[in-house]
Amino acid sequence: MSEIQVNTINEYTSANGVTIDGVLIKDGAINKSYISDFGLKEFDTYILTADINGTSADITANWQRKTTTGFEKIGTGVSESSGIFSFPSTGYWLVGIQAIIEKNNADQLITVRCMGTDDNFSSETEQFKSRMGGASTTTMNFNGYSQGLFKCTDVANDKVKFNTFSFGTNTILISGVNNTQFHFMKIGEI
């Protein structure tokens, strides 16, 4: 089995006047310094350390970066303060919510939302939401996932936070490492 060598080509112009901008791959040893130029630069995951019971509000406490075996953030990672998440660099960020909810009250759509700002939360807008629920009054668990693209052009002012919405008295957002999680992945530069 042969190894692969990756070399970048930056606007190489051939004798025919053809401009090439891309990657040259050939047999040989792998040059890891070039590989990192094409890989994922930032990925982070946060979890809740305590359930949220029957509250429709911003999630401001009990946050923790995921620490399970096999998980490690890539890059600097996002930072969190009182439930507000700041990005370490500008770019296009894919933000995701994986929510596990227990509901045992009347017909209800339960929502976990991502709120965003471009003025450090002097104002905010809903970015995306994960909605779960149904027409049963029996205890049921729901697993919802949603994600959205967030454009960060100013790390001091462009931020996100999460909240619960239309949570009834007996509705629980379940915490723990394998339950509700919030993901952040930088997928492109601006």
Q: Assign domain 43-188 one CATH number from 2.130.10.10, 2.60.120.40, 2.30.30.100, 1.10.1040.10.
A: 2.60.120.40
Q: For residue 108, give every residue at least 6 positions away whose Cβ sits within 8 Å of its Cβ, in sequence order, or none.
A: 133, 166, 168, 171
Tokens of 61: 């406490």
The pLDDT, as a whole number, for residue 166 is: 84
Q: For residue 147, give every residue at least 6 positions away whose Cβ sits within 8 Å of its Cβ, in sequence order, or none.
A: 94, 95, 96, 97, 128, 183
- A 10 A CB-CB count for 184 gives 22
The pLDDT, as a whole number, for residue 62 is: 97
The pTM (predicted TM-score) of the whole model is 0.78
Tokens of 57: 């509000």
- Listed in order, the ranges of the chain carrying CATH 2.60.120.40 are 43-188
Distance, CA of 95 to chain centre: 3
Q: What is the pLDDT of residues 113-150, one digit of tens each?
A: 999 999 999 999 999 998 887 666 677 888 999 999 99
Mean residue pLDDT across the chain: 82
Residue 28 near residue 149 (C-beta atoms within 8 A):
no
82 vs 12, higher pLDDT: 82
For the chain, how many residues are written? 190
The pLDDT, as a whole number, for residue 39 is: 76
Q: How far is the C-alpha of 129 from the C-alpha of 80, rounded, in Å?
A: 20
